[in-house]
Every structure is written in C-alpha cells, then in structure tokens.
Structure 1
Amino acid sequence: MVMTSPLTATAGNPVLRVPPASPAVAAAYFGASLAFHADVSDVAAALASEDAPGFVVLDSRSTASWDQGHVPGAVHLPTALVPERAAALLDPAVPVVTYCWGPGCNGATRAAQALAELGYQVKEMLGGFEYWAREGFAYETWEGVGQRTADALTAPVDAEDCGC
C-alpha cells in the first residue's frame, strides 16, 4: 500500500493547493464576515417587514446612477461626500447598510469605511443595486417604481427567497 501525504495529494489541485483553514479559524472568519455584510434578500426582507428594519440603507453612487434606480427609501450620499454630509443625513445611533452598483464596484466598501471612521455602525450590501434589481425587488427612479422579473440565475423564480 502506497501512502501519500496530504501535500502530495493536493499538489495539482488548484482548490486545495492552499489548504482550508481549521474549522475554528473558518468559523471566526465567516462570523466576522457576517458582521460586515448583508445580502440583498435579507435587506429586502427586513425592509418589507412590519417591524422597523433597525437600519438605514445608503446608496453611495452618483446622482445619475441614483436617478436610474435605487432601493426604495434609501438615502442618497455619494461615497466622496460621506465625510462632509453624513452627519446631516444619518443618525449615528442607527446602523447603516451601504450599496453601490454591484460586485464589480467597491464604492459601497469605501463608503462603509468612511462611515466607520466617522463612528457609524455599518454593513455593506453584497451584490449592490445590480443584484437588488436582478433578484426582482422593486426599485425607484425619477419616473416612479419599477421592478424586473427575477433572474433565474440569481433567485428562485417561484419562491420568496433563495432559502439560504
């Protein structure tokens, strides 16, 4: 019987070339990640609840982007203006959930960092406005409310949420 070491067995495997973290380290990492992020389905569910959501949603995109569509009830505060305008628009006692265009943009991350540096509790909405619209949630524009059919690659077509 030939014994192979775990290193030899994974040498050609691009996924396991760097071994997974220990369960304890992984649990700490993923737990910390949840403290920094919320997904669009959870944000939508909280906003749709009869109870107050307990947070404010902040759209950190430009005015032109905001006008094309935004999460209903969101506060508009472009990332670059956070340091000078946050105090006038946001209550420091209320957590903030930031978003920008989508996964390919880090504007929401930069806005979240700026808010945290100003003393706000903050999370970033994963997927941004792109996934808000792709998952079929209603959005507002200067013309009124809009809504797309959910993209079957991002959300179950005949269910309220993805079940995760």
Structure 2
Amino acid sequence: MITETRHPTATADSAGLATPTSPVLAVPPADPADAAAYFAARLAFHTDPTDVHGALAAGATDFVVVDSRSTEAWDQGHVPEAVHLPTARIPQDAAQLLDPAVPVVVYCWGPGCDGATRAALALSRLGYRVKEMLGGIEYWIREGYEVTTWEGTERRPVDPLTAPVGGGDCGC
C-alpha cells in the first residue's frame, strides 16, 4: 500500500527564520477580489433549502421549484410547491410546464447525486435561468420541512447536524 505523507512547507518570518506552513495554507488563499468574484458566481448558480423554504413560506412567486427525479421518487416525497419534471423529460415537457421568464430552482435527491446538475444543464441549454438547490430533497427533509407524498403530507424531525432543532434561523 502506498501512502502519501504531507510535509508542511516553510515560510520565513520577520527575522528570516523558517516557520512551518499548515496544509491549509500550502496553497494560499485567493486574492480578495478573485475570491469575491468566485463566491458571487457560486451564489448565482446555487441556493439552499432554507432560502427556498423561507421564500416560499413568504409567498414568493419570482421563481419556480422543479423536482427532476422519477415519478417513484416524487411519490416518496417532494417540495409541496414543486413542479415534477424528470430530467429525461425536460426537452419534451419544459415549454409546457415552465415559463421561460421565471427563474427555476431545481433539485434531485441530495449532495451525492448529480441529477439536479444534469437537469439544470438541460434547462439552461433551453434558455431558462436556473439555480440548483444544494442538498436536494435530502436536506429539505433533514431541515424539517414538510413534503408531499402519495399518501399526503409529512414532516420529519430536524436533523441536529443540518439545522437548529428548535426551528430557529441558523444565522447564516
């Protein structure tokens, strides 16, 4: 078995003496202007369940939520206000289900799934403005938000690793 050993690099302090650099800073942080551009661009492509839920609860109508999973997955539970549009059906059905003037927030299963990314790509290629909901339905559910299933609605307990148990704002 081959293992990789990490050796900290060294920098010189004000006296010219070598001081070790942690692996965290072995590649230095980006210039602040570059970092600001990167993070602003990232936010142009992504949103999260907390922001989507908050906006929907406040009555926002400036975007539509799209669940890109299969019918079986949809029936298991989906965001109550979502439109069901499986990724494979986007080329045929998007024009009938979505207004091109309204931005789309797409989700799939969760962070281990690229389904929402594929759906976002397909929609953007058709001219839709798209954001991907980070964490997908998994984090929607883990944060304690209600889902609609084939049997009705349900809400599972908040996962304390993803959201405040008391239902308060996480502060981010």
- Provide TM-score, normalisation by structure 1: 0.92
Gaps of 5+ in 1: none
- Which residue number corresponds to residue 9 of structure 1? 20
Given the alignment of the two structures, is residue 31 of structure 1 paired with residue 40 of structure 2, yes or no?
A: yes
Alpha-carbon deviations, 1:9-46, whole Å to 9, x = none?
32xx3322221111110000000111111110000000
In structure 2, what residue type is equivalent to 1:31? A
Give the number of equivalent residue pairs: 158
Alpha-carbon deviations, 1:32-79, whole Å to 9, x = none?
111111110000000000x33310000001111111000001011111
Larger Rg: 2
Aligned counterparts, 1:1-164, within 5 A: 1-4=15-18, 9-10=20-21, 13-49=22-58, 51-164=59-172
Give the match's secondary structure for 1:111: helix
In structure 2, what residue type is equivalent to 1:16? L
- Provide TM-score, normalisation by structure 2: 0.88
Q: Aligned Cα RMSD in Å?
A: 1.3
Give the match's secondary structure for 1:32: helix
Aligned mates of 2:93, 2:46 — CA distance in 1: 23
Aligned mates of 1:23, 1:73 — CA distance in 2: 38
Give the match's secondary structure for 1:15: helix
In structure 1, what residue type is equivalent to 2:85? L
**CA shift at 1:2, angstroms?**
4.3
Q: What's the % identity of the aligned pairs? A: 68
**CA shift at 1:158, angstroms?**
1.3
Aligned mates of 2:78, 2:17 — CA distance in 1: 58
